[in-house]
Every structure is written in C-alpha cells, then in structure tokens.
Structure 1
Amino acid sequence: ADSQALYADLRTTLFTCIRACADPDPEELSAFTDLYGPLGLLLTFQVANTEDCTPKLQAHVEEFLQTFGLSNAEIKIHLKFKWGQQTLERDLRVKRKSRVAMGDQPPLTFDVTCSAQPPWAVKERWCHGGHPVRGGRLALSIPPPAMDQGVFGDLRVQFVTLLRPCVLQYPNLPTELTHIQVLVYSPSNVPVPAPSHFFSSLPAALDCQQLGLDRIHCSSYKDLVHSGVVFTVEQEHWDDPVHESAHVPVQQSLLLFLFLQHDDPFISEVTDFIAAEMLIEHHLEDILSNNRQAITAAVQTELCNCLKAQNRRKKRQETLKSAAAVILSSTISIVSSSSNTDFRNTCLNSMK
C-alpha cells in the first residue's frame, strides 16, 4: 500500500510532462523477471508530448540514473525506452561496490568502478576501483524563508570523498588531480541539482596552496541531469607541449558527495517526507548560502584529508628527483675521472 501511494504521488508531483500509461504486457514482464529476477519497483510512465522524447532526454534520464547508482550500488536498474517502433534498453549494473558505514544512518553502497587503464610501467596489482572515505558531518542552520515555507527539524550534511583511480599500491607513481565533481543528494539518497551560484563561487574561497593545487575553476554545471558541478584543476605543466611517456602522471578525479540528512519528529507519512524533501531542494541555494562559511571550511578540510597522500607522494618524488640529479652528476664525475678504461666502459654500459 505504501509503495502504491508513493508511486501515485511520484506520478502527480514529480513528472509534470507525463500521462497515464498502460500496464506492461504480462508475457513481456514474465520474460523480464525470468531473466533478471523479481522486481523491487516497476516505474512506468508515458511522455505526453512525443516530441519531447528525444535522444537528449534519454541521455538525461540515463545519466541521472547513473548518478543515482553511484551511492545506491545495490539497486539493479534496467532502463527501457520505447518510442514508435524503436526500443532502447540499458542494463545499469555495477561492477565494483564498496559499502560505507554512515554512523547513525543506514550504510551506503557505492559504485567504485573505474575504467582508467594502468600506465605502461604498471605490470600487476592495479586497483580497478576506489575507496570511498566518510568524512565529517556538519549541522546546517535553516534560514527563516525556508522555515516560513515549512522546513523544520534538524538538517545536516554528511561528506564522503572518492578518489579514482586508486594508486595506493604504487607510492612512487606520479599522479595529478584533474577534476573535482561535487554531487548533492537528498535525505532519501536521490541526486538533486547542485545550486549553481553557491558552487560557482566556491573555488575562489578555497585555499589552493594548502591543497597543493595550482588553480581550481568551475568548468560545468549539469543542472538538467542532476549530476552535480564539475571543477577543473589546472597544473602549471599542463601547457608543456611534450611529456616523456615514462613521466606522464596518472590523472585522477575526485568525487565529493554531500548527503543531506533531515530529521523532523512531526513527519511520519511518506507523502510528508516527499513534500519536506521537495521544500529542502527548493530552498537549497538559500540553505547553503546561509551556512557558506562553515560549508567552505568543511569542504577545505575534506579535500585536504583526501589529497594528503597525493601531496606526500609529490614531495617524496621531488626529493628523489633532486637526489637523483646529484647522484647522477657525482657518478659521471667519478667514472669520467677514472684512468681504468675497462671500469669506465663497464659503468657507461650499465648506465645506458
């Protein structure tokens, strides 16, 4: 009964461009369950205006579901589009998962699949996933306009970071961070649009020197697909036309999850939970701006903690590089000053 009420409410409140849809064909549904197992939830809807059913819309829906699956990896999603005589199916399965305890909240299972290929110097033990790390939790104050609209109770944000690909097995492998993607999730763990004004001004408030980065700027804001905001990290050597293949660093990306958590003792019905979350999403820009200083400091801390290993690796490599130059210079001096021809030839051949 609760699932039926939820489904009905979703149809009437969240999908403004859809209309009633006939039930799936029983034989087709039976064949599907035989292949994939029993259904946990079947959500079907029909677009009212068939002109809206474009490849762009399909891409938006698919990307939204992929973003949803990043922190709901235990849920198997099968997406099927039908328009005219055409059918498009996507089986959004997760290859690698990682379960993270969330304190007093239910644990989350993350999709840590990483498609990055190992560099040529790596022969084995390459990690094909990532390791999400639960960070701090920050209490948020609710601004008066949101309270006037009915947002009450306790509101918090839980931070989780995921750096990919993992290079922990190779401490001497050079790396560089290229992108930071910020994803915001509602209290029911559904991705919501990241407020553009708040996050577009965030890079200017971060201490890049403390993070060990040169510059961060907002490169894209993907509000339509609920896949967050992307920051590009620029490094000084990016403008160099040529890199030696042996010294090309492994490019990494960082996912920063912001999970909103909301507790209101006066809410008990499913429809009330949905209404409260819609209000929070509607006022999210104001809520984040009202807590700007605290959130900025928390993001700075999370990024620092996540990039500690990378910065230590970078300093260690700089030390080794400086030492190698001194060692090489001294070795060449010793070899070249030797009067023993056999010794010089043996050393030079070994150095080649």
Structure 2
Amino acid sequence: MSKPKPSSMESLLPRMRWCSEPDPEELSSFTDLVKRKKKVALPDRSSLILDVTCRTEPPLCLRAGRWCQGGHPVLGGTWPLSIPPQAMDQGLFGDLSVQFVTLLSPCVEQYPNLTTKLTRIQLLVFGPSNVPVSSPSGFFQTLPAALDCQELGLERLSRSSSKGLQHSGATVYTVETENRDDSEQESSLSPVEQSLLLFFFLQHCDPFSSQLADVLASEVLIERHLDDILSNNRQAVTAALQTELSNTMKAQNNKKTNQKKLLSAADVIVSSTISIISCSTNLDFRTTCLNHMKVCNTRDLSASLRETLWRVTSWKFVPRSRCYTPQKEQHPECEEQTRREM
C-alpha cells in the first residue's frame, strides 16, 4: 500500500495539541495530597527524603482545622559495627556502622496538654544504598527481652504482625504500658495512640572497593549476614536502641509530668467552683449553673465540670508553623461545642 498523503493523514487522525508544562506549585500541591515527605541530612551522606504520611484521623473537632499531617524525623546517633568472621571470609571488609532516625506520629506538638499513648514500635532497616532490606528475624525476635522496659516506662514489648501497615517490611512490636495515669482515669477522652518508627540506616565504606560491582557485592553480603552482624554487635546495638527509645520516652514522660500538674490545678478549680455554687444562697444563680451544665445536682455538676475543663485544656492549641498547614474553617459542631464549654 502506498503511504498516505499528509492531507489524508490529518483527516484520519484527530487534531492533537501539546499541553503546557505543569505549574510546579500546583503540581506540588497535588502530590502533597497523596504523601508528605521530609528531608533528613545524614552525616557524610546526601539528604534522605522520608515519607512521613500519617494515616491517623484527627478528632472530629480538628478534621478541618489545625492538625499536623505528618511527623518530624529526629536524627539519632551513629554507632560503629564490627564485621563478623563469617562475613569477612566471604569478602566483606571495611567500616560498617548504623545511623538511627526516629519518627513519632501522629505529631501532637501543637497540643502539649493532649493525652497520648505509645502503642506500637516499628523497626525498618535500610542498606547502604538506602534501599529497604528484609529485617533479621533472629536478632529482632529476642530484642524485647534484652531491652530495659522498666527504664522506658513500658510494661512489655511483644512481637506482632506488620500486615496492613504502611511499611510492610518493618518489624513491629506492640507496646503495653503501665497502669493508666490519673489524667486518663479522670477523663473519658481516649488518648491519642502514637506509633514510633525507628529507621536503621546501615553505612559501609571500603576504600579498596571502588568499582560498582564491588559495592553491589558488599551490599549483598551485608544483607545476607545482617542477622550475624547484629548478633555479633548485640550489646552495642541493644544499648543504642535503649538510648534512642529513652530519648523518645523522656519527652513523653516529661509531658505526662506537666499533665499531672495541670490536673492538680484543674482539681483546685473544680473544687473551688463547686464550693462557690454549693455555698451560694442565691437560688437563681445555683439553678442557672446547673442548667448551663445540663445536670440535676452538684454531684453531677462536679463530674461534668471536670470533664469539660479537661477537654478544653487538652485541646489548647499552641501555634507551630512547621507542624500544619491552615485549612478550612473549624467544624460547626466543634464551634458550638466550644461555645458551650466556654
């Protein structure tokens, strides 16, 4: 068949127009709706881009308000690792170390009085090329018994399944805390459950392996002998993990201490208010107070007032520009609830 003429081709095919280049800001806004990423600069290495997307839904009052959509990675320490003899026999030499990065989510930094509860710890290992590697089952299986949970303020860690989680290759531990503190007992508000993601970034340097094939071969050996490497450095790695977890839990414990002080102040406010209402000889004033709180007597008034006061103080907002992006106006139900409580 003869080649069609240009005019015939134009009549057969629809007219096509080239699209203009997308606006970078609009494209960035679109991609931010799918995932939120943060940059972490590691020592002696290029910056890492970590996915900090948080799937935890905020309470109804904040779903259209001020709520951090992701976490804030914290750069931890770098710890040297010795290479076991069995790995050296197969050609793995040089300097090996591990860099830790922690990520606590969801972020509640803008709500310092909000009750939180750590429920899950996830460990995720990356090779020298920043590619996730399969976690060593042997070392991580016995890790909970090696950690000092009492120092961390945790009752027990137990291995659990990672099915359905965002990071499918992570080793997951369920956290069992000690007895509930006073703030949780006094309030029916459920604490916000948080998850701690701890990244293991393995670093390897061998001045005698400069070829790409040698680098790839070393990474294969590191992944193959990862369980032996961690077991050979069990004491150092366990101490490093204890330090990283202690730093995270220290901030949590300090927050609980401040919450207990706030609760003590709330007790004084409630008792003083009840005394004023109970001792008042003005019947209209007492009736108005009971009706406003929708209770029938001063005993119910005490419980209602305590619950309302704790709810208001728990969600006290402290502006932090790096935590969230202002969105739509506050939910109408939340506005009405806030007016009633105040």
Tell me, yes or no, whether TM beats 0.5.
yes
Instruction: Report the equivalent of 1:119.
Output: 59
Match of 2:153 among 200, 212, 236: 212
Q: Gaps (5+ residues) in structure 2? A: 1-17, 22-27, 295-342
| Contact 1:208 1:215 survives alignment (8 Å) | yes
Please identify the structure whose Cα radius of gyration is greater: 2
Match of 2:171 among 229, 250, 254: 229
| Contact 1:159 1:258 survives alignment (8 Å) | yes
Query: Which whole-Å CA distance do the structure 1 matches of 2:241 and 2:193 have between them?
Result: 21
**Higher strand content, 1 or 2:** 1
- Residues 205-260 of structure 1: CA deviation (Å, up to 9, x unaligned): 222232232321111378xx97021001123569xxx9999611111111100010
| Contact 1:119 1:250 survives alignment (8 Å) | no
Any idea what SS the aligned residue of 1:180 has?
A: strand
**TM-score w.r.t. length of structure 1:** 0.67
Match of 2:248 among 298, 301, 306: 306
Query: Which whole-Å CA distance do the structure 2 matches of 1:118 and 1:237 have between them?
Result: 25
**Relative to 1, partners in 2 of residues 1:348 and 1:221: Cα closer, same or farther, differing over 3 Å?**
closer
1:346 CA drift (Å): 4.1
Query: Which whole-Å CA distance do the structure 2 matches of 1:318 and 1:213 have between them?
Result: 18
Match of 1:97 among 15, 37, 42: 37
| Contact 1:196 1:221 survives alignment (8 Å) | no
| Contact 1:142 1:155 survives alignment (8 Å) | yes
Match of 2:92 among 143, 151, 164: 151
2:120 is the alignment partner of 1:188: no
Match of 2:198 among 256, 273, 276: 256
Which runs of structure 2 are paired with 1:1-352 in the superposition (5 Å)?
Answer: 95-122=35-62, 124-220=65-161, 227-235=169-177, 247-352=189-294
Instruction: Report the equivalent of 1:23.
Output: none
**TM-score w.r.t. length of structure 2:** 0.68
Query: Which whole-Å CA distance do the structure 2 matches of 1:108 and 1:159 have between them?
Result: 13
1:121 CA drift (Å): 4.0
Q: CA RMSD in A?
A: 3.0
Query: Which whole-Å CA distance do the structure 1 matches of 2:222 and 2:84 have between them?
Result: 11
Any idea what SS the aligned residue of 2:60 has?
A: coil
| Contact 1:179 1:231 survives alignment (8 Å) | yes
The amino acid of 1:233's aligned partner reads V
Larger relative contact order (Cα-Cα within 8 Å, sequence gap ≥ 6): 2
Query: Which whole-Å CA distance do the structure 2 matches of 1:341 and 1:228 have between them?
Result: 63
Q: Gaps (5+ residues) in structure 1? A: 1-33, 38-73, 75-90
Query: Which whole-Å CA distance do the structure 2 matches of 1:331 and 1:127 have between them?
Result: 35
Query: Which whole-Å CA distance do the structure 1 matches of 2:278 and 2:147 have between them?
Result: 51
**Relative to 1, partners in 2 of residues 1:237 and 1:209: Cα closer, same or farther, differing over 3 Å?**
closer
**Relative to 1, partners in 2 of residues 1:288 and 1:104: Cα closer, same or farther, differing over 3 Å?**
same
1:330 CA drift (Å): 3.8
| Percent of aligned positions that are identical | 63
Query: Which whole-Å CA distance do the structure 1 matches of 2:77 and 2:67 have between them?
Result: 29
Query: Which whole-Å CA distance do the structure 2 matches of 1:351 and 1:314 have between them?
Result: 28
Query: Which whole-Å CA distance do the structure 1 matches of 2:126 and 2:168 have between them?
Result: 9
What is the number of residues matched between the two proteins?
A: 260
Query: Which whole-Å CA distance do the structure 2 matches of 1:137 and 1:94 have between them?
Result: 32
